[in-house]
Amino acid sequence: MSKVNIFTRGFFKENAVFVMLLGLCPALGTTTSAINGLAMGLATTFVLIMSNIVVSLIKSQIPDKVRIPAYIVVIASFVTVVELTMKAYLPELFAVLGLFIPLIVVNCLILGRAEAFASKNNVFDSILDGLGMGLGFAMALTILGAVREVLGSGSIFDIPLYEGDGALVFVLAPGAFIALGYLIAILNKLTKKTA
Amino acid sequence: MEYVLIIISAIFVNNVILAKFLGVCPFFGVSKKVETALGMGGAVVFVMTIATIVTYLIQKYILDKFGIQYMQTITFILIIASLVQLVEIILKKMSPSLYQALGIFLPLITTNCAVLGVAILAVSTDGFGLMESTVYAIASAIGFGLALTIFAGIREQLDMMDVPEGMKGVPIAFVTAGILALAFMGFSGIA
C-alpha cells in the first residue's frame, strides 16, 4: 500500500463516521455546531496520532495477551493530557464538549486503529494512518456540525446566514440521527456513481 | 433526591442513547434482532451497575482522598475493562448460547461509552451518594436496554419494508433512530 493511500483512505473510502460507523457517540453528541465538531475532531486526531506512535513503538514489547489493556492505558494517558490542557487553556470549549472529552478513551476508532494498524506497522506509516483517519473523522464531524448548525440555528461557524430561528430539532438529539442518516445516504449515492 | 425522579429521568427523559448519545455503537451494532438486543441489554445492566458502584467507591476513598482526581479516566477505564473480562468468563460458563449470540460485542462493552459515561456522570453529579449512584446506574442501563429493544423490534419490521434504494441499511436505521428520539423527547414534559 502506498504512503498516499494510507493517508487518504481515511477521508472517503474508509471514513470512520460515514463508512465504518466508528466513533458515533462523539459524532452525534458534540456536533451541535461546526466549531464544536471541528474541535472534537482535532482533539481526537491528536490522541489518535500520539497513541498510534506509542503503540507502534512498543508493539514488540507487549505480550499478546495483555495488548488491549496496554493500548487502553496508552490512549487514556493521552486523553488525560488533552483533558487537562483543554481545562487550563480553553475552559469554554471544555464546558461545551464536557463529558465527551474523557470519553475519547472509549472511541472505538482509536482502539481500532491501534489494533488493526499501529500494532502491525512502523512508526512513520502509523503517523500517516493516524493523521489521515483523524482528519477524516474531524472532517466528518465538521460537515455534520455545519449541516446541523445551518438547519438548526441558521448560521455557520457562528456567522449568521439567514433571519429567524431555524428548525431547533436539528440542534437537539433527534436531528443528529436524522442528519447523519441522510448524509450517509447522499455519500452512498455519490460513491456508487464513481465506483 | 427522590429515587423515583432519578429512575424516570434516567430511563425516559435523559435516555442514555437517545438524549445523551452514549453507547451509540452497540445501539446500531446489535439491534438487528430483539433477542440479541435483550441479551446485550442484560449484560449492560450487570456491567454498568457494578462498574458504577466500584468506580464510585474508588473515586471517594482513593482518588478524592489522595487528591489524584486527574487519574480518573485511566482508573475508571481499567476497572471497566477488567469487569467486562469477568462477565465474559462467567457468561461463557453459565450460558454458552447467550455467549455465542453476543459474540464479539461483549468485549466491546469495554468501549461502550455508556458504561464509562454513566460512571463519570454518577461521581460528578452533586448530591449523589452511593445509593443514588447505584439507582441511577441501574435506571440508565434499563433505559439503554429499553431503547435498544424497541429499536431492534422496529428494525425487524423494517427488513420487510420496501425502502428506497439509497436509504437501505444504515441511513434508514439512523432516520428511524431520529424519529424514536423525537418520541422520547415527549417525555421531557414529565420532568
Task: Reply yes or no on whether the pLDDT at A195 is more than 50.
Answer: no
Which residues in chain A have their CB less than 8 angstroms from residue B19's CB?
Answer: 173
Ramachandran angles phi, psi of B57, nearest 5°: -65, -45
Mean pLDDT for B145-159 is 90
User: Cβ contact (<8 Å) for A105 and B19?
Assistant: no
Give, rounded to a whole angstrom, the gap between the first and last alpha carbons of chain A: 19
Range among A32-36, A152-156, B37-41, B93-97 with highest mean pLDDT value: A32-36
Average pLDDT, chain B: 85
User: Cβ contact (<8 Å) for A182 and B171?
Assistant: yes
Instruction: Report pLDDT for B101.
Output: 65
Quote the DSSP letter at residue A117.
Answer: I
Q: Is B154 on the interface with A (CB under 8 A)?
A: no
Nearest C-alpha of chain A: how many angstroms from B26?
10
Which residues in chain A have their CB less than 8 angstroms from residue B177's CB?
Answer: 177, 181
Which of B21, B116, B182 would you mutate first to test chain A, the one with the most A CBs within 10 A? Answer: B21
Tens of pLDDT, residues A23-75: 888 888 888 888 999 999 999 999 999 999 999 999 888 888 888 888 888 99
Instruction: Report pLDDT for A49.
Output: 94
DSSP string, chain B: --HHHHHHIIIIIT-TTTTT--SHHHHHHS-SSHHHHHHHHHHHHHHHHHHHHHHHHHIIIIIHHHT-GGGHHHHHHHHHHHHHHHHHHHHHHH-HHHHHHHGGGTGGGGG-HHHHHHHHHHHHSTT--HHHHHHHHHHHHHHHHHHHHHHHHHHHHHTTS---GGGTTHHHHHHHHHHHHHHHHGGGGT-
Task: Reply yes or no on whether the pLDDT at B103 is more than 90.
Answer: no
Whether B190 is in a domain gets the answer no
Nearest by CB to residue B77, choosing from A106, A173, A186, is A106
Nearest C-alpha of chain A: how many angstroms from B145?
17
Whether B191 is in a domain gets the answer no
Whether B10 is in a domain gets the answer no
CA atoms lying within 13 Å on the CB side of residue A133: 32
Q: How many structural domains compose chain B?
A: 1
Whether B5 is in a domain gets the answer no
User: A124 Cβ partners below 8 Å, 6+ apart?
Assistant: none
What is the rounded CA–CA span in Å between residue B56 and residue B50?
10
Task: Reply yes or no on whether the pLDDT at A164 is more than 50.
Answer: yes
Whether B98 is in a domain gets the answer yes
Tens of pLDDT, residues A111-148: 888 888 888 889 999 999 999 999 999 999 999 999 99
Q: Is the four-CA dihedral B139, B143, B144, B145 of positive or negative sign?
A: positive
B45 and B138 in contact (C-beta within 8 Å)?
Answer: yes
Whether B162 is in a domain gets the answer yes
Whether B81 is in a domain gets the answer yes
Range of the domain at B141: 15-184
Whether B138 is in a domain gets the answer yes
**Cell numbers found for residue A168:** 431547533
What is the rounded CA–CA span in Å between residue B82 and residue B75?
11
Interface A–B counts its CB contacts (< 8 A) at 119
Tens of pLDDT, residues B50-73: 899 999 999 999 888 888 888 888
Tens of pLDDT, residues B62-102: 888 888 888 888 899 888 888 888 878 887 888 888 777 66
- Percent of chain A beyond pLDDT 70? 97
Which of A72, A60, A57 lies closest to A127 in space, CA to CA? A57
Range of lowest pLDDT (B71-75, B108-112, B141-145, B169-173) = B108-112
Q: Which residues pair with A159 in a beta bridge?
A: A156
Q: Is B185 on the interface with A (CB under 8 A)?
A: yes
Q: Which residues pair with A155 in a beta bridge?
A: A160
